């Protein structure tokens, strides 16, 4: 009995001390980014007050050294097992007549909390092909609504027909191994078990790229480079 | 209601329906169809803030409501003023069509723009426009009192006009499919060619004889002008939607596509009215009247 207890304790401690296998990387844009377009916000006085000179198209956001933001990076193939949806919600805000975040990942069955922080109204129209499409009116400031996606889908378009410049993308997966590149173009997919995977990077304008990656106990860093059209 | 007043009122309803079709076209062209997610109210109220896409969608709803009431009054007026039973039937048909159209409009919102409902909504809109325009024609002085003139090629002209009206209606279906699904552009082009060719024949034919030159020829020339303009608008719409493909529709795209759609409704109605007028104003010679072509005044 004592031996069995010590064995369980040892294994437990080993599991706790085992490093989380991180797959990190960065996304770059090779070439000049398109000149930012400005879209008039005159159609809504509230939006115009926030953006008197118009809203800059946020489809392509690139850093000084080509770091590409808002790229959804995820494990496309190689994940085994089932993963419970996290209890915490993904918060999706409408603020300053723009979506925040513009690109995000969410697990199937996980709650998407949609918030309207604006003093103007919005409609939130999600256009999944695999899950149920929805179009919700959010006429009141600080109003919150909750929705879920049932089936995996990369990517789901979300838009506002009141303000046609507002567009966002959700990567819906049945596992938690995904990330979105930040301002520095970097991403970090946490807790990925060792194994062989196909990693895909998706960008709204530049499409997709894939890489075969073998994850080991050692941290691994990969780079995706999209060519500017 | 006096016949003249009824005619003027029917003409007014036709004009309002034309404006409604233009407003509906703006909704589609600006992608504003789902900017108001509820129906029949808009964000739970009759008067939501008129911002962004709501300006187009809600304005369309307000005009549609107005046309609905106007059509109800028209149906009642026709029912009371008209002795012709088929005219009472037309008034009732217009009322049923406008109700069906409102339901289809609501369904497009509730079911998030399924293509077949949007296409049906578009087709019924323009068919309704032609129907109300026909009521205006049937209540006109020309229809009630117009003289009938013999025309040796009345039969062939009528056949040409009926065929062209059928093509124009099929073109409406093809155009609506292109607009709401992006498919069927070849059919749309093919029908455009056929209609243009037929209108050219109609213009030439109606210029041949004194009986048609005075009354039908100007109508045919007007149709020719509309079709020419329509081809120009069609190519413009093609360039904007298929070649330039802006993320957010530009003003040029919105105006071209909406004008193209509205002019399509006018061509359909114009062709149908010309066909009807050819039946009312022309008398086929005895040899022709023995054929399947109805003789003069068959709808009077």
Please write the tens of the pLDDT for every residue from A50-109: 999 999 998 999 999 999 999 999 999 999 999 999 999 999 999 999 999 999 999 999
Phi then psi for residue B40, to 5 deg, are -80, -20
Residue B31: alpha-carbon gap to chain centroid: 22
Q: B258 pLDDT exceeds 90? A: yes
Residue in B36, B43, B51 nearest the CB of A43: B51
The answer to whether residue A34 neighbours chain B at the CB level (below 8 Å) is: no
Helices B251-281 + B216-238 axis angle, to 10:
160
| Tens-digit pLDDT profile for residues B60-83 | 999 999 999 999 999 999 999 999
Poorest-confidence range of A147-156, B223-232, B246-255, B266-275?
B246-255
For residues B47 and B153, what is the distance between their CA atoms, to the nearest angstrom?
Answer: 56
Q: Are A43 and B247 a contacting pair at CB < 8 A?
A: no
Task: Give residue ranges of B with CB < 8 Å to any A CB.
Answer: 30-38, 43-44, 48-49, 51-55, 112, 247-249
Q: Are B247 and A133 a contacting pair at CB < 8 A?
A: no
Residue in B35, B44, B48 nearest the CB of A161: B35
Q: Are B43 and A45 a contacting pair at CB < 8 A?
A: no
Residues of A in contact with B33 (CB under 8 A): 161
Q: Report which DSSP code applies to B46.
A: S
Which pLDDT score, from 0 to 100, does residue A218 have?
85
Residues of A in contact with B250 (CB under 8 A): none
Q: SS3 for B155?
A: helix
Identify the segments of chain A with pLDDT beneath 50: 1, 7-19
- The first and second tokens of residue B175, run together, are 């155009």
For residues A127 and A134, what is the distance between their CA atoms, to the nearest angstrom?
Answer: 7
Q: ∠ CA(A39), CA(A41), CA(A43), 5° rounding? A: 125
Query: pLDDT band for position B285 (50/70/90)?
Result: confident
Which pLDDT score, from 0 to 100, does residue A20 have?
55
Percent helix / strand / coil, chain B, rounded to 5: 75, 0, 20
Helices B154-181 + B115-138 axis angle, to 10:
150
Q: B143 pLDDT exceeds 80? A: yes
| Tens-digit pLDDT profile for residues B144-168 | 999 999 999 999 999 999 999 999 9
pLDDT, mean over chain B: 94
For residue A125, the number of C-alpha atoms closer than 13 Å in the C-beta half-sphere is 23
Phi then psi for residue B75, to 5 deg, are -60, -40
Rounded to a whole number, what is the distance in Å from the CA of A81 to chain B's nearest CA?
35
Q: Quick check: B295 and B148 in contact, CB under 8 A?
A: no
Q: Are B34 and A139 a contacting pair at CB < 8 A?
A: no
Q: Are B35 and A162 a contacting pair at CB < 8 A?
A: yes
Q: Quick check: A102 and A158 in contact, CB under 8 A?
A: no
Q: In what order do the strands lie in the sheet with A72-77?
A: A178-180, A72-77, A195-203, A207-215
Q: ∠ CA(A17), CA(A20), CA(A24), 5° rounding? A: 155
Which pLDDT score, from 0 to 100, does residue B284 have?
83
Which pLDDT score, from 0 to 100, does residue A17 have?
42
CA-nearest residue to A139 within chain B is B43
Q: Quick check: B104 and B176 in contact, CB under 8 A?
A: no
Q: B202 pLDDT exceeds 80? A: yes
Which pLDDT score, from 0 to 100, does residue B247 have?
85
Rounded to a whole number, what is the distance in Å from the CA of B182 to chain A's nearest CA?
17
Q: B34 pLDDT exceeds 90? A: yes
CA-nearest residue to A163 within chain B is B52
Which pLDDT score, from 0 to 100, does residue A18 have?
43
- The first and second tokens of residue B59, run together, are 């304005």
Size of interface A-B (CB pairs under 8 A): 60
Q: Are B37 and A137 a contacting pair at CB < 8 A?
A: yes
Phi then psi for residue A212, to 5 deg, are -90, 130
Q: Quick check: A178 and A189 in contact, CB under 8 A?
A: yes
* pLDDT mean over B11-35: 98
Which pLDDT score, from 0 to 100, does residue A36 have?
83
* pLDDT mean over B109-121: 96
Rounded to a whole number, what is the distance in Å from the CA of B111 to chain A's nearest CA?
9
A 10 A CB-CB count for B112 gives 17
Whose structure tokens read 């939607």? Answer: B241
Q: Are A162 and B43 a contacting pair at CB < 8 A?
A: no
Q: B278 pLDDT exceeds 50? A: yes
Q: B117 pLDDT exceeds 50? A: yes
Torsion of CA B226, B229, B231, B235, to 10 degrees: -150
Query: pLDDT band for position B294 (50/70/90)?
Result: low
The helix or strand, by DSSP H or E, that contains position B94, with its residue range, turns out to be helix B85-110
ipTM: 0.86
Q: B189 pLDDT exceeds 90? A: yes
Which pLDDT score, from 0 to 100, does residue A16 have?
43
Rounded to a whole number, what is the distance in Å from the CA of A165 to chain B's nearest CA?
7
Q: Are A44 and B51 a contacting pair at CB < 8 A?
A: yes
Q: Are B112 and A45 a contacting pair at CB < 8 A?
A: no
The answer to whether residue A120 neighbours chain B at the CB level (below 8 Å) is: yes
Which pLDDT score, from 0 to 100, does residue A15 have?
41
Query: pLDDT band for position B3 (50/70/90)?
Result: confident
The answer to whether residue A59 neighbours chain B at the CB level (below 8 Å) is: yes
Alpha-carbon distance values, B90 to B85, B114, B125, B128, B135 (Å) = 9, 30, 16, 11, 7
For residues A54 and A60, what is the distance between their CA atoms, to the nearest angstrom?
Answer: 17
């Amino acid at each position: 009995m004592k031996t069995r207890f010590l064995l369980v304790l040892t294994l437990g401690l080993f599991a706790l001390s085992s490093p989380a296998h991180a797959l990190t990387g960065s996304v770059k844009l090779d070439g000049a980014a398109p000149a930012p377009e400005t879209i008039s916000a005159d159609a809504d006085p509230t939006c115009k007050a926030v953006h008197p000179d118009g809203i800059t198209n946020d489809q392509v956001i690139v850093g000084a050294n080509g770091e590409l933001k808002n790229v959804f990076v995820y494990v496309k193939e190689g994940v085994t097992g089932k993963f419970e949806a996290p209890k915490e919600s993904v918060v999706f805000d409408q603020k300053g007549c723009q979506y925040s975040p513009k690109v995000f990942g969410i697990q199937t069955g996980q709650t998407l909390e949609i918030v309207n922080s604006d003093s103007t109204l919005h409609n939130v129209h999600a256009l999944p092909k695999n899950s149920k499409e929805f179009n919700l009116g959010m006429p009141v400031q600080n109003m919150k609504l909750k929705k879920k996606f049932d089936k995996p889908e990369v990517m789901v378009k979300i838009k506002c027909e009141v303000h046609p410049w507002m567009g966002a993308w959700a990567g819906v997966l049945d596992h938690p191994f995904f990330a979105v590149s930040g301002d520095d173009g970097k991403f970090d997919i946490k807790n990925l078990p060792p194994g062989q995977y196909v990693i895909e990077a998706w960008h709204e304008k530049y499409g997709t790229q894939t890489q075969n990656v073998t994850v080991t106990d050692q941290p691994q860093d990969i780079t995706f480079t999209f060519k500017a059209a | 209601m006096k016949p003249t007043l009824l005619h003027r009122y029917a003409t007014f309803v036709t004009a309002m329906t034309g404006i409604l079709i233009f407003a509906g076209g703006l909704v589609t062209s600006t992608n504003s169809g789902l900017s108001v997610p509820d129906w029949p109210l808009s964000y739970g109220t009759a008067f939501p803030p008129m911002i962004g896409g709501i300006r187009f969608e809600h304005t369309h709803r307000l005009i549609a409501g107005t046309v609905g009431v106007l059509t109800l009054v028209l149906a009642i007026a026709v029912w009371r003023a008209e002795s012709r039973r088929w005219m009472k039937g037309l008034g009732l048909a217009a009322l049923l069509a406008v109700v069906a159209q409102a339901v289809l409009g609501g369904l497009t919102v509730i079911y998030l723009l399924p293509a077949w409902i949007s296409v049906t909504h578009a087709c019924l809109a323009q068919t309704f426009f032609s129907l109300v325009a026909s009521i205006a024609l049937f209540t006109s002085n020309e229809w009630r009192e117009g003289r009938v003139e013999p025309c040796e090629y009345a039969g062939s002209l009528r056949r040409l006009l009926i065929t062209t009206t059928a093509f124009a209606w099929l073109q409406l279906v093809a155009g609506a499919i292109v607009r709401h699904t992006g498919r069927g552009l070849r059919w749309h082009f093919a029908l455009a060619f056929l209609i243009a060719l037929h209108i050219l024949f109609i213009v030439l034919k109606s210029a041949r004889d004194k009986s048609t030159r005075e009354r039908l020829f100007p109508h045919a020339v007007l149709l020719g002008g509309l079709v020419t303009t329509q081809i120009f608008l069609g190519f413009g719409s093609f360039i904007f939607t298929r070649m330039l493909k802006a993320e957010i529709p530009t003003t040029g795209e919105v105006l071209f596509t909406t004008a193209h759609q509205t002019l399509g409704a006018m061509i359909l109605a114009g062709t149908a009215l010309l066909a009807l007028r050819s039946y009312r104003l022309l008398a086929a010679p005895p040899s022709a009247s023995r054929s399947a072509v109805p003789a003069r005044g068959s709808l009077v």
